[in-house]
Structure 1
Amino acid sequence: MNGTAPEFSLPPGLPTMLAPLHRRVCALVERLPVQPPSFVLARALDRVLLPRLPADARQALAGRCVELRVTDFGLRVRLQLGPGGFALASSTAEPALRITAPGSSYLRLLRGDDDPDRLFFERALVMEGDTELGLVLKNTLDAIGPLWPRRAAPAARR
């Protein structure tokens, strides 16, 4: 939003010779409408997060635009919490909070493999905007625990 070119991180394991192609694909993805991925994430959060979301966190998030950016895919989603659950935020709404990270960092958060503080201090996760809202969201997710727990390994057959 500051007019500079976005920085795209390479996914782990991607050969560096594919970096130019990766940058072009990410630049294309970033120009696509945010509504389809935002809608999908809103429905998923309605099922996984909303039933576990405490009243104080619901109140803090209500009507506030939160933007998530996935740096290694050029993906961006914009959400807000309304009376009926999570919904797409207006494309003209200024995000109250913007969280930027590679996909692997979001996955580590969802699984509970890492906490947001560690990712923040490692600069694997960047939060911009309303600090208080960011802390409410972080503390709520810490209290709730993993949203996407790892499946137990199947028992060995005898």
Structure 2
Amino acid sequence: MLKPRAHLLKLGEHLLPLAARTPFALQRIALERSLNQVFAEPLADDAFEALEGNWMRLEVVDLNLAWCLSCERQKLRIVEQAPIQVTIRGNWREFLLLASRQEDPDTLFFRRRLVIEGDTELGLAIKNLIDSLDPDLLPSWLWKLLQGAGEEVALAGRAQPVSA
């Protein structure tokens, strides 16, 4: 019998690919509203200044999802296409490990499970920004969900045999 968290992760594996079928306009609205609300305090404190006037492309390769992000007047903006300076690319499990703090960002990038392409100085500034964000900014239910899902992904990754 699957543990509740493992069951939730299996459900997510089936539902996440549906996100790529969601019209970009709906993705943009949901992401912009959520991110600007959750990160209102760091945005007001200019924590996202590295993105001010710059564009980053975030690609979740295995879900066929991508967004271009920038910061304008202390608000995050998301568009489908932009003149990007840096791309951060990986699979959803790696982004979940990063978000849930189950894996050190340096390890994910060093092992090329997450990849930075383009302006590496900007990419490193964004990596450091992500690493510095306080998980207490998230609603407690969301942080618990991220942590639980991240723990399950980390456990599953440790259980996988190493290929030669």
Scaled to the shorter chain, the TM-score interval is: 0.5 to 0.7
- 1:9 paired residue number: none
CA contact (8 A) 1:72 1:103 kept: yes
CA contact (8 A) 1:105 1:124 kept: yes
- 1:98 paired residue number: 87
More helix by share: 2
Indicate which of 113, 137, 143 corresponds to 1:149: 143
Give the Cα–Cα distance (whole angstroms) in 1 for the partners of residues 108 and 96 of structure 2. Answer: 12
CA RMSD for the aligned pairs?
Answer: 3.0
Q: TM-score normalized by structure 2?
A: 0.63
User: Is 1:37 aligned with 2:31?
Assistant: no
Indicate which of 113, 124, 133 corresponds to 2:122: 133
Query: What does residue range 45-124 of structure 1 map to in structure 2 within 5 Å?
Result: 45-53=35-43, 54-55=45-46, 57-83=47-73, 85-89=75-79, 91=81, 93-124=82-113
Relative to structure 1, the CA distance from residue 89 to residue 59 in structure 2 (aligned partners, 3 Å threshold; closer, same or farther) is same
1:102-143 per-position Cα deviation (integer Å, ceiling 9, x unaligned): 011111111111122111122210111111211111112222
Give the Cα–Cα distance (whole angstroms) in 1 for the partners of residues 40 and 116 of structure 2. Answer: 22
Q: Which letter maps to 1:95? A: I
How many pairs align?
126
Q: Percent identity?
A: 33
Structure 1 unaligned regions, length at least 5: 1-11, 14-24, 154-158
Relative to structure 1, the CA distance from residue 104 to residue 90 in structure 2 (aligned partners, 3 Å threshold; closer, same or farther) is closer
Give the Cα–Cα distance (whole angstroms) in 2 for the partners of residues 75 and 124 of structure 1. Answer: 17
Looking at CA atoms only, which structure, 1 or 2, has the larger radius of gyration? 1
Deviation larger for 104-113 or 41-50: 41-50
Give the Cα–Cα distance (whole angstroms) in 2 for the partners of residues 44 and 90 of structure 1. Answer: 17
Q: Which letter maps to 2:144? A: R
Structure 2 unaligned regions, length at least 5: 1-8, 11-16, 149-164
Give the Cα–Cα distance (whole angstroms) in 2 for the partners of residues 34 and 67 of structure 1. Answer: 14
CA contact (8 A) 1:81 1:87 kept: yes
